[in-house]
């Protein structure tokens, strides 16, 4: 009789790992400090009860429970690595600071288009353990996994047939405290590559590989524009920056895997971006409202600013995740006409911006920031109100999705009001 499996956490991935263990006749015990699991305490005395330990992504390397387990030298893994042991097909991993979710969805759709059995899982909100329990788990099938740095930390045992690493920029420095440690966490995926695996990295990643003396002989550094980009429809989302750059990466991976180009092109031309990624929410007179709530780091926000033509009233702020806020502000200032800031980081960001931008406004409440941005934009011909926060949502919202929905509701409410002052002034 095997020993029970210890699972740390009680969220989506933890519950899925338990279901997978139980399907194989193994008991699983959930440890959760908030009381949502089977036990809310874990001590050194508990270690001998288990042979394997699975950690949810929220458990950083300095967490006492994780330190106890890792010191024991017993198998310690992420939910992804645990599930991978029972996956029968191939695994394609997608990581990067930005662009992961979009390319995970694109490659899954392209594989479907090519007639392959495929499922996307991982950091997208669908645990790999549940995919393993699905009909997709069969020989020759593809699992396209979005993998965060948190999940990569404990990737031992995960065997990858292909890896696409889009880009690398400041993010999650509240957890890693340095870019080198952040890179090291993601770079653990290199050690998961099978001997003949395919690996494609973006130019930023290649630079970091060189600086950190991390090499993988099979890595291909993608070109800025792949040949397949030229075959995209003019209105494809992948013709737009920054999606065009990530499509080049995906196209190179696709071709190296010897998959039919026509399937990728067809999937890309029909592709609709998930919500809150540079969506145009509404237009009022000459003012256009953009929702880029998914931009929770500096790199994503700077890319959004580069993609928009015309005057920009920028809505930024939220909860800081580490990183050089002052350097970020210096890059933002010259690209916007006005900054409307909210949340925990607002005062610090405002102070940093005042050296490069004359018009900076701070609001405690997110809704008040939106209303003010609309009023300001009404006075600027052909202005863009851009929500691209650059920071996490967790000071006022449960997720970037909740923040994005709130923005959409607020904008549409303002537009549909009988006498919205900002609409009145420009119509």
**What confidence tens digit (pLDDT) does each residue in 110-163 have?**
999 999 999 999 999 999 999 999 999 999 999 999 999 999 999 988 999 999
Mean per-residue pLDDT for 218-226?
Answer: 57
Distances (CA, A) of 197 to 185, 194, 208: 20, 5, 21
Q: Compute the C-alpha angle 377/373/287, nearest 5°.
A: 35
User: For residue 197, how many other CB atoms are within 10 A of its CB?
Assistant: 20
pLDDT for res 241? 86
Summarised one tens digit per residue, pLDDT across range 375-411 is: 999 999 999 999 999 999 999 999 999 999 999 999 9
Across 96-182, the runs of DSSP E, i.e. the strands, are 118-122, 142-146, 160-165
Check whether 14 has a pLDDT greater than 50.
Answer: yes
pLDDT band at 6 (very low <50, low <70, confident <90, very high): very high
Q: For 51, phi and psi rounded to 5 degrees?
A: -105, -25
How does pLDDT run across 88-115, given as a tens digit for each residue? Answer: 999 999 999 999 999 999 999 999 999 9
Please state, rounded to an integer, the average pLDDT across all residues of the chain.
92
* Residue 362 clears pLDDT 70, i.e. is over it: yes
The stretch 16-25 carries a mean pLDDT of: 97
pLDDT (mean) for 63-84: 96
Confidence of residue 22 (pLDDT cuts 50, 70, 90): very high
Q: Is the pLDDT of residue 30 over 70?
A: yes
Conformational region of residue 258, where left means phi above 0, alpha means psi within -120 to 50, and beta covers everything else: left
Give the pLDDT score at 285: 84
Q: What is the pLDDT of residues 134-147, one digit of tens each?
A: 999 999 999 999 99
Count Cβ atoms below 10 Å from residue 210 Cβ, excluding itself: 10
3 state DSSP class of 121: strand
Burial class (CB in 10 A: 0-12, 13-18, 19+), 75: middle
Domains and their CATH numbers in the chain: 5-74 (3.40.50.720), 83-269 (3.40.1190.10), 279-426 (3.90.190.20)
Q: How far apart are CA 89 and CA 26, in angstroms?
A: 23
pLDDT digit string, tens, across residues 295-342 = 999 999 999 999 999 999 999 999 999 999 999 999 999 999 999 999
pLDDT band at 358 (very low <50, low <70, confident <90, very high): confident
Is residue 221 scored above 70 in pLDDT? Answer: no
| pLDDT reported for residue 368 | 96
| CB neighbour class for 41 (10 Å; exposed up to 12, middle 13-18, buried from 19) | exposed
Residue 223's pLDDT band, with cuts at 50, 70 and 90, is low
What percent of the chain stands above pLDDT 90? 85
Average pLDDT (30-51) is 95
Residue 32 above 90 pLDDT? Answer: yes
User: What per-residue string of b and e applies to 113-145 under the rule 16 or more CB within 10 Å gives b?
Assistant: bbebbbbbbbbbebbbbbbbbeebbeeebbbbb
Burial class of residue 1, CB neighbours in 10 A (0-12, 13-18, 19+): exposed
CB 242 within 8 A of CB 96: no
Spatial strand order in the sheet of 312-317: 279-284, 287-291, 384-390, 312-317, 338-342, 360-363
Q: Angle 263-268-271 (CA atoms, 0-180°, nearest 5)?
A: 125
Confidence band (pLDDT; 50, 70, 90) for 217? Answer: low
Distance between CA atoms of residues 415 and 412, nearest Å: 5
| 212 pLDDT higher than 80 | no
Q: Are 107 and 257 within 8 A, CB to CB? A: no
In the prediction, which pLDDT does 214 show?
A: 65
Q: What is the pLDDT of residue 267?
A: 97
In this predicted structure, the answer to whether residue 185 has a pLDDT above a threshold of 90 is: yes
What was the pLDDT predicted at 424? Answer: 34
Spatial CA neighbour of 331 closest among 356, 359, 349: 356
End-to-end CA distance of the chain: 74
Q: How far apart, in whole angstroms, are the C-alpha atoms of residue 300 and residue 374?
A: 22
Give, in order, the Cα–Cα distances in Å from 25 to each of 20, 242, 317, 389. Answer: 9, 46, 48, 46
10 Å CB burial of residue 33 (0-12, 13-18, 19+) is middle
pLDDT at residue number 42 = 97
Examine the pLDDT at 284 and tell me if it is beyond 60.
yes
- For the cut 50, the answer to whether the pLDDT of residue 225 exceeds it is no
Report pLDDT for 355.
80
Name the DSSP class of 2.
P
Q: Who wins on pLDDT, 194 or 217?
A: 194
**Tens of pLDDT, residues 253-280:** 999 999 999 999 999 999 999 899 999 9
Cβ atoms 255, 351 nearer than 8 A:
no
Q: Residue 87, SS3? A: coil
245 vs 46, which has greater pLDDT? 46
């Amino acid at each position: 009789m095997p020993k029970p499996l210890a699972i740390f956490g009680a969220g989506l991935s933890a519950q899925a790992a338990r279901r997978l263990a139980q399907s194989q006749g193994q008991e699983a015990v959930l440890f959760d400090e908030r009381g949502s699991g089977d036990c809310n305490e874990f001590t050194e005395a508990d270690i001998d009860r288990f042979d394997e330990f699975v950690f949810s992504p929220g458990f950083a390397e300095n967490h006492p429970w994780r330190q106890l387990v890792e010191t024991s030298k017993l198998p310690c893994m992420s939910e992804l690595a645990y599930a991978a042991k029972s996956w029968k097909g191939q695994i394609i991993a997608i990581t990067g600071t930005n662009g992961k979710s979009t390319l995970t969805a694109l490659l899954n759709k392209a594989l479907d288009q090519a007639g392959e059995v495929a499922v996307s899982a991982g950091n997208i909100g669908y645990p790999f353990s549940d995919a393993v329990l699905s009909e997709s788990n069969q020989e020759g099938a593809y699992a396209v996994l979005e993998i965060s740095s948190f999940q990569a930390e404990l990737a031992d045992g995960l065997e990858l047939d292909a890896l696409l690493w889009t880009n690398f920029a400041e993010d999650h420095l509240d957890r890693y405290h340095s870019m080198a440690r952040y890179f090291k966490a993601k770079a653990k995926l290199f050690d998961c590559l099978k001997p003949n695996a395919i690996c494609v990295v973006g130019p930023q990643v290649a630079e970091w590989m060189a600086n950190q003396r991390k090499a993988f002989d099979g890595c291909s550094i993608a070109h800025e524009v792949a040949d397949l980009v030229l075959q995209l429809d003019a209105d494809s989302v992948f013709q737009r920056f920054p999606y065009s750059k990530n499509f080049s990466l995906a196209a190179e991976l696709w071709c190296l895997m010897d998959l039919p180009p026509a399937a990728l092109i067809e999937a890309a031309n029909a592709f609709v971006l998930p919500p809150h990624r540079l969506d145009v929410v509404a237009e009022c007179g000459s003012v256009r409202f953009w929702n880029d709530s998914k931009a929770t780091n500096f790199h994503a926000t700077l890319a959004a600013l580069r993609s928009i033509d015309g005057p920009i009233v920028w809505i930024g702020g939220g909860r800081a995740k580490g990183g050089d806020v002052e350097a970020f502000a210096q890059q933002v200032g010259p690209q916007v006409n006005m900054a409307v800031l909210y949340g925990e980081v607002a005062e610090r960001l405002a102070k940093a911006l005042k050296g490069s931008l004359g018009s900076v406004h701070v609001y405690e409440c997110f809704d008040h920031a939106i209303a003010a941005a609309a009023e300001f934009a009404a006075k600027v011909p052909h202005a863009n109100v851009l929500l691209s926060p650059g920071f996490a949502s967790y000071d006022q919202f449960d997720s970037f999705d909740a923040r994005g929905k709130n923005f959409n509701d607020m904008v549409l409410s303002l537009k549909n009001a009988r006498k919205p002052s900002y609409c009145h002034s420009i119509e």
